[in-house]
Amino acid sequence: MTSRDKIGQLFMVGFLGTSVTPDLASFIKEYKPGGVILFSRNLESIEQMVNLTNDLQACSPHSPLLISIDQEGGRVSRLPKGFTIFPPCDVLGRCNSTELAYAAAATIAKELRAVGVNMNMAPVLDVNSNPDNPVIGDRAFGTTPDVVCELGMATAAGLQGNRVVACGKHFPGHGDTNTDSHKELPVVEASRERLETIEFPPFRHAIAQGIASMMTAHVLYRALDPELPATLSPAIINSFLRQELKYDGVVLTDDLEMHAIIDHYGVEDAAVRAVLAGCDVLLICKDRDREVAAFGAIEQAVASGAISMERLNVSADRIARLKDRFIKPYKPVTVSDARLIAGCQSHQSLLRTIEQVDARSFQVRDQKFEVRGSGF
C-alpha cells in the first residue's frame, strides 16, 4: 500500500444521494477512503440499502470499506421504514437491564449486517450530567456513570458479538455541556476530579472491556487542555487516552464539518491537528470539496514530514486490524436475506418487550412518588 493509499484509509466520508453515481465511484477509486458514513438522506428501503452498500464496496479497489451509520435509537436513527427502530437509550436506562440492552444492540447489528453496514456509531458513553445539555439528553443511558458503564458495555458487546464495530462516544464526555458542538464550541469548566468521578468512568470501563473504536468530542475541557478541543488535543488523545488509559483501538474524530471545529480551524488545519493529536480516522460527513481539501492537507503534511511515515503507519495498521477483525473476508449481501432479517417478527417482539418494561418502570416510579407525596 502506497503512502497515498494509507492516507485514504484515514478518511471516512459522507455523500449526497441514494446510489453510487459515476462521480462518487470515481472519488472512491481515486482517494481510496477507508470508510463511508450513511445518513437518512442516503437511505430509502431495504432493497436500496443492499444495492448501495454492495455498489460502494465494489468501488473500493483494495480494501473493504467500513460502512458506518448512527443507529443509536430514538431521535438518532438513520434507518428507513422496514427496520426495527428502538427507543432512545434513556428508555433502556429506565429498564435497567443489561440483557435487554445487549439484545437490542444484537438486533440492530443483525439488521445492519443484513444490508451491508458493518459499523455503528454507538454506544453513547456520555453521562447526562447537565440538565441544560441540548444535544445529549435522552441519547444517554442515564444520569450516573454506573448505569452508563453497565448498559454501554452491554450495547458494545451486542454489536461486536454480531460483527459490527462499536464506537464509544464522545470521548472524554459530552454530557456536561450546555451548548451543542454541531453549532458552536462547548467549554467544560469542571475540575479534573469531577471529570474523573462522573465523565471518565464509562470510557475507562469500555477500554477495559475491549471496545473496538472511540469517537472524540469537539469540546474544550479546561482541566485537561485549556486551549484545544479534545479532537485536536495531543494532551487528551495522545497523553491521556493513548498513554494513560493505554487505548490502542481506532480513534475517530466527530464530524470535522461541525461548527465547533470549522468555525475556529478550517477543515485542512483540523485534519492535520487531529492526526497529530492521535486520531486515526477523520470523519467528514457531507462536503466533497472539504473532503478533498482535507486529503490534500494530510498528503502535504506527510510529504513535508510534519506527519511522519511512522505516525501514518500506526493509524493505517490500526484500521487494517479493525477491518481484519470485523469485515474480512468481505461478502456481498442479498436482498432476500435482508428481507428475512430486517424488521422480522422476533425483533419486533423484543421492541414491544422493551416498551412494556419501560411502561412498568413508569408505573413503579409513579407509585413511589404518590407514597412519598402522601406523607408516609
Longest C-alpha distance within the chain, in Å? 74
Q: What are phi and psi of 250, to 5 degrees?
A: -80, 130
- The DSSP-derived string for 246-277 is ---SEEEPPPTTSHHHHTTT-HHHHHHHHHHH
Residue 169 contacts residue 126 (beta carbons within 8 Å): yes
Contact between residue 118 and residue 71 where contact means Cβ atoms under 8 Å apart:
no
Q: How are beta strands 76-77 and 71-73 bridged, if at all?
A: antiparallel
End-to-end CA distance of the chain: 72
Report the alpha-carbon angle 263-266-270, nearest 5: 115
Pairwise CA distance, residues 3 & 238, whole Å = 22
Q: Which residues are catalytic?
A: 182, 254
Residues 246 and 288 sit within 8 Å (Cβ to Cβ) = no
C-alpha angle 84-90-94 in degrees, rounded to nearest 5: 105
* CA–CA separation, 239 and 234 (whole Å): 6
Beta bridge partners of 12: 35, 283
Got the DSSP string for 92-126? HHHHT-HHHHHHHHHHHHHHHHHTT--EE---B--
List of residues 6+ apart from 238 with CB closer than 8 A = 277, 278
Helices within the chain (DSSP H only): 3-9, 22-31, 46-59, 89-95, 98-114, 145-160, 192-194, 201-208, 259-262, 267-277, 288-304, 309-326, 335-341, 345-373
